[in-house]
A and B are shown apart, each in its own frame.
Chain A
Protein backbone atom coordinates (compact mmCIF):
# COMPACT_ATOMS: atom_id res chain seq x y z
CA UNK A 1 0.00 0.00 0.00
CA UNK A 2 1.54 3.31 -1.02
CA UNK A 3 2.02 5.94 1.65
CA UNK A 4 -0.01 9.13 1.29
CA UNK A 5 2.11 12.28 1.39
CA UNK A 6 0.39 15.43 2.59
CA UNK A 7 1.61 18.96 2.21
CA UNK A 8 1.16 21.41 5.07
CA UNK A 9 2.87 24.72 4.35
CA UNK A 10 6.58 24.11 4.08
CA UNK A 11 6.31 20.67 5.58
CA UNK A 12 5.55 17.33 3.94
CA UNK A 13 3.86 14.68 6.06
CA UNK A 14 4.15 11.02 5.17
CA UNK A 15 1.68 9.14 7.29
CA UNK A 16 2.29 5.41 7.24
CA UNK A 17 -1.01 3.58 7.73
CA UNK A 18 -0.11 -0.10 7.59
CA UNK A 19 2.84 -2.45 7.49
CA UNK A 20 5.08 -1.60 4.55
CA UNK A 21 6.78 -3.85 2.06
CA UNK A 22 10.31 -3.07 1.00
CA UNK A 23 8.92 -1.89 -2.30
CA UNK A 24 6.55 0.55 -0.57
CA UNK A 25 9.48 1.95 1.39
CA UNK A 26 11.57 2.54 -1.72
CA UNK A 27 8.63 4.16 -3.41
CA UNK A 28 8.15 6.44 -0.40
CA UNK A 29 11.80 7.41 -0.58
CA UNK A 30 11.61 8.28 -4.29
CA UNK A 31 8.37 10.15 -3.95
CA UNK A 32 9.60 12.22 -1.01
CA UNK A 33 12.82 13.11 -2.80
CA UNK A 34 10.76 14.26 -5.76
CA UNK A 35 8.17 16.21 -3.78
CA UNK A 36 10.69 18.01 -1.58
CA UNK A 37 12.02 19.64 -4.73
CA UNK A 38 8.68 20.24 -6.33
CA UNK A 39 7.09 21.92 -3.29
CA UNK A 40 10.33 23.48 -2.06
CA UNK A 41 9.67 21.91 1.35
CA UNK A 42 11.91 22.61 4.31
CA UNK A 43 10.71 19.82 6.55
CA UNK A 44 9.56 16.23 6.24
CA UNK A 45 7.67 14.36 8.94
CA UNK A 46 7.37 10.60 8.68
CA UNK A 47 4.73 9.27 11.04
CA UNK A 48 5.32 5.63 11.97
CA UNK A 49 2.76 5.42 14.78
CA UNK A 50 0.93 2.62 13.00
CA UNK A 51 4.04 0.45 12.62
CA UNK A 52 4.54 -2.29 15.17
CA UNK A 53 7.66 -3.71 13.57
CA UNK A 54 10.65 -2.03 12.04
CA UNK A 55 13.39 -4.12 10.50
CA UNK A 56 16.89 -3.31 9.33
CA UNK A 57 15.70 -2.41 5.85
CA UNK A 58 13.15 0.04 7.23
CA UNK A 59 15.68 1.76 9.48
CA UNK A 60 18.21 1.91 6.67
CA UNK A 61 15.63 3.43 4.34
CA UNK A 62 14.66 5.99 6.95
CA UNK A 63 18.33 6.94 7.31
CA UNK A 64 18.48 7.22 3.52
CA UNK A 65 15.40 9.43 3.40
CA UNK A 66 16.83 11.72 6.07
CA UNK A 67 20.15 12.03 4.23
CA UNK A 68 18.44 12.63 0.90
CA UNK A 69 16.15 15.26 2.39
CA UNK A 70 19.12 17.04 3.95
CA UNK A 71 20.83 17.22 0.55
CA UNK A 72 17.63 18.67 -0.89
CA UNK A 73 17.49 21.31 1.85
CA UNK A 74 14.88 19.80 4.14
CA UNK A 75 15.05 18.31 7.60
CA UNK A 76 13.41 14.94 8.21
CA UNK A 77 11.84 13.90 11.50
CA UNK A 78 10.54 10.45 12.30
CA UNK A 79 7.68 10.59 14.78
CA UNK A 80 5.55 8.13 16.69
CA UNK A 81 7.94 5.23 17.25
CA UNK A 82 6.13 2.88 19.64
CA UNK A 83 7.81 1.83 22.89
CA UNK A 84 8.10 -1.80 21.83
CA UNK A 85 9.47 -0.82 18.44
CA UNK A 86 12.04 1.43 20.13
CA UNK A 87 13.21 -1.40 22.36
CA UNK A 88 13.40 -3.78 19.42
CA UNK A 89 15.43 -1.35 17.32
CA UNK A 90 17.94 -0.83 20.10
CA UNK A 91 18.18 -4.49 20.98
CA UNK A 92 18.69 -5.51 17.38
CA UNK A 93 21.54 -3.03 17.26
CA UNK A 94 19.90 -1.02 14.49
CA UNK A 95 20.46 2.69 14.54
CA UNK A 96 18.67 5.74 13.31
CA UNK A 97 21.80 7.85 13.49
CA UNK A 98 21.40 11.14 11.72
CA UNK A 99 17.63 10.89 11.86
CA UNK A 100 15.79 13.25 14.17
CA UNK A 101 13.04 11.58 16.18
CA UNK A 102 10.13 13.02 18.13
CA UNK A 103 7.29 11.67 20.19
CA UNK A 104 4.37 12.45 17.91
CA UNK A 105 3.24 14.62 15.02
CA UNK A 106 2.80 17.67 17.23
CA UNK A 107 6.29 17.36 18.67
CA UNK A 108 7.67 16.81 15.19
CA UNK A 109 6.14 20.07 13.97
CA UNK A 110 7.48 21.85 17.03
CA UNK A 111 10.96 20.49 16.36
CA UNK A 112 10.89 21.60 12.72
CA UNK A 113 9.56 25.02 13.68
CA UNK A 114 12.41 25.54 16.12
CA UNK A 115 15.09 24.52 13.67
CA UNK A 116 13.60 26.71 10.94
CA UNK A 117 13.60 29.69 13.30
CA UNK A 118 17.22 28.98 14.10
CA UNK A 119 18.08 29.10 10.44
CA UNK A 120 16.77 32.64 10.28
CA UNK A 121 13.64 34.54 9.29
CA UNK A 122 12.18 34.24 5.85
Chain B
Protein backbone atom coordinates (compact mmCIF):
# COMPACT_ATOMS: atom_id res chain seq x y z
CA UNK B 1 0.00 0.00 0.00
CA UNK B 2 1.37 3.41 -0.86
CA UNK B 3 1.73 6.07 1.78
CA UNK B 4 -1.13 8.57 1.71
CA UNK B 5 -0.19 11.73 -0.13
CA UNK B 6 0.87 14.18 2.52
CA UNK B 7 -0.14 17.80 2.56
CA UNK B 8 3.46 18.71 1.92
CA UNK B 9 3.68 16.95 -1.40
CA UNK B 10 0.33 18.39 -2.22
CA UNK B 11 1.43 21.94 -1.45
CA UNK B 12 4.74 21.47 -3.24
CA UNK B 13 3.04 20.61 -6.48
CA UNK B 14 1.02 23.78 -6.14
CA UNK B 15 4.11 25.92 -5.81
CA UNK B 16 4.12 27.85 -9.09
CA UNK B 17 7.11 29.92 -10.21
CA UNK B 18 5.03 33.06 -9.65
CA UNK B 19 4.51 32.07 -6.00
CA UNK B 20 8.25 31.76 -5.53
CA UNK B 21 8.79 35.18 -7.11
CA UNK B 22 6.15 36.62 -4.86
CA UNK B 23 7.74 35.14 -1.76
CA UNK B 24 11.10 36.62 -2.77
CA UNK B 25 9.35 39.98 -3.15
CA UNK B 26 7.90 39.59 0.34
CA UNK B 27 11.38 39.49 1.84
CA UNK B 28 12.49 42.22 -0.57
CA UNK B 29 15.42 40.32 -2.05
CA UNK B 30 16.90 42.43 -4.88
CA UNK B 31 19.92 42.25 -7.24
CA UNK B 32 22.00 44.22 -4.70
CA UNK B 33 21.36 41.54 -2.14
CA UNK B 34 22.36 38.79 -4.51
CA UNK B 35 25.62 40.59 -5.27
CA UNK B 36 26.39 41.05 -1.57
CA UNK B 37 25.63 37.39 -0.85
CA UNK B 38 28.08 36.39 -3.59
CA UNK B 39 30.75 38.49 -1.83
CA UNK B 40 30.37 36.77 1.51
CA UNK B 41 30.05 33.26 0.07
CA UNK B 42 33.33 32.18 1.57
CA UNK B 43 32.28 33.13 5.09
CA UNK B 44 29.59 30.51 4.90
CA UNK B 45 31.28 27.83 2.80
CA UNK B 46 34.64 27.86 4.57
CA UNK B 47 33.06 27.31 7.95
CA UNK B 48 30.21 24.98 7.11
CA UNK B 49 30.78 22.60 10.01
CA UNK B 50 30.98 25.44 12.49
CA UNK B 51 27.63 26.86 11.32
CA UNK B 52 25.89 23.49 11.23
CA UNK B 53 27.21 22.81 14.71
CA UNK B 54 25.79 26.13 15.92
CA UNK B 55 22.35 24.98 14.83
CA UNK B 56 22.45 21.44 16.18
CA UNK B 57 24.50 22.37 19.26
CA UNK B 58 21.71 24.73 20.19
CA UNK B 59 19.09 22.02 19.73
CA UNK B 60 21.15 19.57 21.82
CA UNK B 61 20.75 21.88 24.81
CA UNK B 62 17.03 21.31 24.99
CA UNK B 63 15.17 18.28 26.20
CA UNK B 64 12.23 19.26 23.97
CA UNK B 65 14.31 18.65 20.84
CA UNK B 66 15.10 15.04 21.78
CA UNK B 67 12.78 13.85 19.03
CA UNK B 68 15.43 15.02 16.59
CA UNK B 69 18.73 15.04 18.49
CA UNK B 70 18.03 11.71 20.16
CA UNK B 71 17.49 9.84 16.93
CA UNK B 72 20.73 9.08 15.07
CA UNK B 73 19.02 8.19 11.80
CA UNK B 74 17.19 11.53 11.68
CA UNK B 75 19.99 13.73 12.94
CA UNK B 76 22.38 12.38 10.29
CA UNK B 77 19.96 13.20 7.53
CA UNK B 78 19.13 16.57 9.08
CA UNK B 79 22.80 17.57 9.29
CA UNK B 80 23.34 16.58 5.69
CA UNK B 81 20.30 18.58 4.58
CA UNK B 82 21.41 21.54 6.65
CA UNK B 83 24.84 21.52 4.98
CA UNK B 84 23.16 21.46 1.59
CA UNK B 85 20.91 24.24 2.78
CA UNK B 86 23.82 26.52 3.65
CA UNK B 87 25.57 25.80 0.36
CA UNK B 88 22.40 26.53 -1.58
CA UNK B 89 21.69 29.61 0.49
CA UNK B 90 24.73 31.43 -0.90
CA UNK B 91 24.55 29.89 -4.38
CA UNK B 92 22.09 32.53 -5.51
CA UNK B 93 19.52 30.16 -7.04
CA UNK B 94 16.21 30.39 -5.20
CA UNK B 95 14.01 28.39 -7.54
CA UNK B 96 11.88 25.32 -7.40
CA UNK B 97 14.67 23.01 -6.36
CA UNK B 98 15.65 25.28 -3.49
CA UNK B 99 12.07 25.31 -2.24
CA UNK B 100 11.82 21.53 -2.49
CA UNK B 101 14.90 21.21 -0.32
CA UNK B 102 13.41 23.51 2.31
CA UNK B 103 10.22 21.49 2.25
CA UNK B 104 12.10 18.27 2.79
CA UNK B 105 13.87 19.74 5.78
CA UNK B 106 10.60 21.06 7.19
CA UNK B 107 9.03 17.66 6.72
CA UNK B 108 11.90 16.05 8.58
CA UNK B 109 11.54 18.49 11.51
CA UNK B 110 7.86 17.78 11.58
CA UNK B 111 8.50 14.04 11.66
CA UNK B 112 10.87 14.63 14.57
CA UNK B 113 8.11 16.61 16.36
CA UNK B 114 10.37 19.65 16.55
CA UNK B 115 8.54 22.66 17.93
CA UNK B 116 8.60 25.83 15.85
CA UNK B 117 9.80 27.81 18.87
CA UNK B 118 12.90 25.64 19.37
CA UNK B 119 13.59 25.61 15.66
CA UNK B 120 13.52 29.41 15.61
CA UNK B 121 16.04 29.56 18.45
CA UNK B 122 18.37 27.16 16.67
CA UNK B 123 18.03 29.03 13.42
CA UNK B 124 18.91 32.24 15.20
CA UNK B 125 21.96 30.59 16.67
CA UNK B 126 22.97 29.50 13.16
CA UNK B 127 22.55 33.04 11.84
CA UNK B 128 24.60 34.40 14.74
CA UNK B 129 27.42 32.05 13.84
CA UNK B 130 27.34 33.19 10.21
CA UNK B 131 26.90 36.84 11.19
CA UNK B 132 30.00 36.74 13.36
CA UNK B 133 32.06 35.55 10.37
CA UNK B 134 30.62 38.19 8.09
CA UNK B 135 31.17 41.04 10.58
CA UNK B 136 34.78 40.00 11.10
CA UNK B 137 35.37 40.40 7.35
CA UNK B 138 34.61 44.13 7.65
CA UNK B 139 36.40 45.13 10.87
CA UNK B 140 36.57 48.81 9.88
CA UNK B 141 33.18 49.20 8.25
CA UNK B 142 30.48 47.80 10.48
CA UNK B 143 27.76 49.27 8.24
CA UNK B 144 28.97 47.21 5.28
CA UNK B 145 29.09 44.12 7.47
CA UNK B 146 25.57 44.77 8.62
CA UNK B 147 24.30 45.27 5.07
CA UNK B 148 25.90 42.06 3.85
CA UNK B 149 24.50 40.18 6.79
CA UNK B 150 21.06 41.67 6.21
CA UNK B 151 21.09 40.51 2.59
CA UNK B 152 21.73 36.98 3.73
CA UNK B 153 19.11 37.33 6.43
CA UNK B 154 16.50 38.06 3.77
CA UNK B 155 17.17 34.63 2.33
CA UNK B 156 17.05 33.21 5.83
CA UNK B 157 13.61 34.68 6.45
CA UNK B 158 12.48 33.41 3.07
CA UNK B 159 13.62 29.95 4.20
CA UNK B 160 12.03 30.16 7.62
CA UNK B 161 8.68 31.01 6.07
CA UNK B 162 8.83 27.94 3.85
CA UNK B 163 10.02 25.61 6.59
CA UNK B 164 7.40 26.83 9.04
CA UNK B 165 4.75 26.49 6.32
CA UNK B 166 5.91 22.94 5.75
CA UNK B 167 5.74 22.12 9.44
CA UNK B 168 2.29 23.68 9.73
CA UNK B 169 0.99 21.88 6.67
CA UNK B 170 2.13 18.57 8.08
CA UNK B 171 0.46 19.29 11.39
CA UNK B 172 -2.76 20.43 9.74
CA UNK B 173 -2.77 17.23 7.75
CA UNK B 174 -2.53 15.20 10.94
CA UNK B 175 -5.35 17.16 12.51
CA UNK B 176 -7.51 16.69 9.45
CA UNK B 177 -6.95 12.96 9.46
CA UNK B 178 -7.85 12.76 13.13
CA UNK B 179 -10.98 14.82 12.58
CA UNK B 180 -12.04 12.53 9.76
CA UNK B 181 -11.45 9.51 11.96
CA UNK B 182 -13.51 10.99 14.77
CA UNK B 183 -16.27 11.96 12.37
CA UNK B 184 -16.52 8.47 10.98
CA UNK B 185 -16.59 6.96 14.42
CA UNK B 186 -19.02 9.36 15.89
CA UNK B 187 -22.38 8.68 14.28
CA UNK B 188 -23.28 5.02 14.28
CA UNK B 189 -26.91 4.08 13.68
CA UNK B 190 -27.75 0.80 15.34
CA UNK B 191 -30.72 -1.43 14.80
CA UNK B 192 -31.80 -3.05 18.05
CA UNK B 193 -35.17 -4.46 17.03
CA UNK B 194 -37.02 -4.85 13.81
CA UNK B 195 -38.00 -1.32 12.69
CA UNK B 196 -36.27 0.27 15.69
CA UNK B 197 -33.00 2.16 15.50
CA UNK B 198 -30.94 3.86 18.14
CA UNK B 199 -28.61 6.73 17.47
CA UNK B 200 -26.28 7.52 20.35
CA UNK B 201 -24.62 10.90 19.95
CA UNK B 202 -21.46 11.60 21.88
CA UNK B 203 -19.32 14.70 21.87
CA UNK B 204 -19.63 18.09 20.34
CA UNK B 205 -22.38 18.74 17.83
CA UNK B 206 -21.42 21.36 15.30
CA UNK B 207 -23.29 22.30 12.17
CA UNK B 208 -21.16 20.06 9.98
CA UNK B 209 -21.70 17.06 12.18
CA UNK B 210 -25.38 17.77 12.69
CA UNK B 211 -25.82 17.80 8.91
CA UNK B 212 -24.00 14.52 8.57
CA UNK B 213 -26.08 13.10 11.38
CA UNK B 214 -29.34 14.06 9.68
CA UNK B 215 -28.12 12.52 6.48
CA UNK B 216 -26.98 9.24 7.99
CA UNK B 217 -30.13 8.97 10.08
CA UNK B 218 -32.47 9.42 7.12
CA UNK B 219 -30.57 6.96 4.98
CA UNK B 220 -30.57 4.47 7.84
CA UNK B 221 -34.34 4.89 8.18
CA UNK B 222 -34.68 3.93 4.54
CA UNK B 223 -32.17 1.10 4.66
CA UNK B 224 -33.58 -0.52 7.82
CA UNK B 225 -37.21 0.47 7.13
CA UNK B 226 -37.28 1.95 10.61
CA UNK B 227 -40.49 3.21 12.11
CA UNK B 228 -39.05 4.54 15.35
CA UNK B 229 -35.64 6.07 16.04
CA UNK B 230 -34.37 6.77 19.55
CA UNK B 231 -31.79 9.54 19.50
CA UNK B 232 -29.80 9.63 22.70
CA UNK B 233 -27.97 12.86 23.46
CA UNK B 234 -26.69 11.96 26.92
CA UNK B 235 -23.15 12.42 25.65
CA UNK B 236 -23.76 15.89 24.28
CA UNK B 237 -22.57 18.50 26.75
CA UNK B 238 -24.05 21.59 25.14
CA UNK B 239 -26.88 22.26 22.77
CA UNK B 240 -27.13 25.73 21.30
CA UNK B 241 -29.93 27.17 19.23
CA UNK B 242 -28.32 26.12 15.94
CA UNK B 243 -27.95 22.52 17.01
CA UNK B 244 -31.44 22.47 18.51
CA UNK B 245 -32.77 23.73 15.21
CA UNK B 246 -30.94 20.95 13.43
CA UNK B 247 -32.44 18.38 15.77
CA UNK B 248 -35.90 19.73 15.05
CA UNK B 249 -35.27 19.58 11.31
CA UNK B 250 -33.98 16.03 11.59
CA UNK B 251 -37.07 14.96 13.48
CA UNK B 252 -39.37 16.59 10.95
CA UNK B 253 -37.53 15.13 8.00
CA UNK B 254 -37.72 11.68 9.57
CA UNK B 255 -41.44 12.18 10.09
CA UNK B 256 -41.81 12.84 6.36
CA UNK B 257 -40.32 9.42 5.83
CA UNK B 258 -42.80 7.90 8.22
CA UNK B 259 -40.44 7.45 11.15
CA UNK B 260 -40.97 8.97 14.56
CA UNK B 261 -37.96 10.15 16.50
CA UNK B 262 -37.72 10.07 20.26
CA UNK B 263 -35.00 12.21 21.82
CA UNK B 264 -33.63 11.00 25.13
CA UNK B 265 -30.94 11.96 27.57
CA UNK B 266 -31.51 15.69 27.68
CA UNK B 267 -29.40 16.57 30.69
CA UNK B 268 -30.48 19.08 33.30
CA UNK B 269 -28.02 21.67 31.99
CA UNK B 270 -29.09 21.20 28.38
CA UNK B 271 -32.76 21.37 29.34
CA UNK B 272 -32.22 24.58 31.27
CA UNK B 273 -30.17 26.19 28.53
CA UNK B 274 -32.82 25.29 25.94
CA UNK B 275 -35.51 26.87 28.12
CA UNK B 276 -33.35 29.93 28.69
CA UNK B 277 -32.75 30.26 24.96
CA UNK B 278 -36.49 30.01 24.45
CA UNK B 279 -36.26 27.07 22.09
CA UNK B 280 -39.48 25.13 21.79
CA UNK B 281 -38.88 21.41 21.44
CA UNK B 282 -42.60 20.80 21.89
CA UNK B 283 -42.87 19.11 18.54
CA UNK B 284 -40.32 16.51 19.55
CA UNK B 285 -41.03 13.62 21.88
CA UNK B 286 -38.43 13.83 24.62
CA UNK B 287 -37.91 11.35 27.41
CA UNK B 288 -35.55 11.29 30.35
CA UNK B 289 -33.23 8.45 29.55
CA UNK B 290 -32.46 5.86 26.92
CA UNK B 291 -34.39 3.20 28.80
CA UNK B 292 -37.52 5.33 28.80
CA UNK B 293 -37.03 5.99 25.10
CA UNK B 294 -36.72 2.30 24.30
CA UNK B 295 -39.80 1.45 26.34
CA UNK B 296 -41.80 4.10 24.55
CA UNK B 297 -40.52 2.88 21.19
CA UNK B 298 -41.47 -0.69 22.02
CA UNK B 299 -44.92 0.49 23.01
CA UNK B 300 -45.34 2.27 19.67
CA UNK B 301 -44.18 -0.81 17.76
CA UNK B 302 -46.38 -3.09 19.85
CA UNK B 303 -43.63 -5.05 21.53
CA UNK B 304 -44.32 -6.47 24.97
CA UNK B 305 -41.14 -7.26 26.84
CA UNK B 306 -41.54 -9.65 29.73
CA UNK B 307 -39.07 -11.26 32.02
CA UNK B 308 -38.98 -15.04 31.57
CA UNK B 309 -38.36 -15.85 35.22
CA UNK B 310 -37.59 -14.11 38.44
CA UNK B 311 -33.84 -13.69 38.75
CA UNK B 312 -32.65 -15.14 42.00
Which A residues form the contact surface with B (CB < 8 A)? 79, 81-87, 89-91, 96, 101-104, 107, 111
List of A residues within 8 angstroms of B257 by Cβ: 81, 83, 86, 101, 103
**Distance from A106 Cβ to chain B, minimum over Cβ atoms (Å):** 8
> Is B218 an interface residue, CB under 8 A from the partner?
yes
List of A residues within 8 angstroms of B227 by Cβ: 103, 107
Q: Are A90 and B256 in contact (CB under 8 A)?
A: yes
- The docked-state distance in angstroms from the alpha carbon of A83 to that of B219 is 6
List of B residues within 8 angstroms of A83 by Cβ: 215, 218-219, 221-222, 253, 257
Count of chain A to chain B residue pairs whose CB atoms are closer than 8 Å in the complex = 49
Find the A residue at minimum CB distance from B259.
A103
Q: Are B215 and A101 in contact (CB under 8 A)?
A: no
Find the B residue at minimum CB distance from A106.
B225
Q: Interface residues of A: mostly helix, strand, loop or mixed?
A: helix
Which B residues form the contact surface with A (CB < 8 A)? 214-215, 218-219, 221-222, 225-227, 249, 252-259
Partner of A90, one of B221, B252, B258: B252
Q: Are B256 and A81 in contact (CB under 8 A)?
A: yes
List of A residues within 8 angstroms of B219 by Cβ: 83
Q: Are A90 and B249 in contact (CB under 8 A)?
A: yes
- The docked-state distance in angstroms from the alpha carbon of A89 to that of B226 is 20
| Residue of B214, B226, B227, B257 with highest tally of chain A CB at under 10 A | B257
Q: Are B225 and A86 in contact (CB under 8 A)?
A: no
**Distance from A24 Cβ to chain B, minimum over Cβ atoms (Å):** 21
Q: Are A89 and B253 in contact (CB under 8 A)?
A: yes
List of A residues within 8 angstroms of B256 by Cβ: 81, 85-86, 89-90, 96, 101
Q: A90-B253, A103-B221, A103-B257 are in contact. List 10 more A-B contacts (CB 8 A).
A: A79-B258, A83-B219, A83-B221, A90-B249, A90-B252, A96-B256, A101-B256, A102-B258, A103-B259, A107-B225
List of A residues within 8 angstroms of B252 by Cβ: 90
Find the B residue at minimum CB distance from A59.
B256
| Residue of A85, A87, A89, A101 with highest tally of chain B CB at under 10 A | A87
- The docked-state distance in angstroms from the alpha carbon of A105 to that of B29 is 73
List of A residues within 8 angstroms of B215 by Cβ: 83, 87
List of A residues within 8 angstroms of B218 by Cβ: 83-84, 86-87
Find the B residue at minimum CB distance from A108.
B258
- The docked-state distance in angstroms from the alpha carbon of A90 to that of B261 is 15
Find the A residue at minimum CB distance from B253.
A86
Q: Are B258 and A107 in contact (CB under 8 A)?
A: yes
List of A residues within 8 angstroms of B259 by Cβ: 103
- The docked-state distance in angstroms from the alpha carbon of A111 to that of B227 is 12
**Distance from A82 Cβ to chain B, minimum over Cβ atoms (Å):** 8
Given the known inter-chain contacts A103-B225, A104-B225, please indicate yes or no for A87 contacting B214, CB distance below 8 A.
Answer: yes
Find the A residue at minimum CB distance from B252.
A90
Q: Which 6 A-B pairs have the closest CB atoms?
A: A83-B218, A102-B258, A86-B253, A103-B258, A86-B256, A90-B249
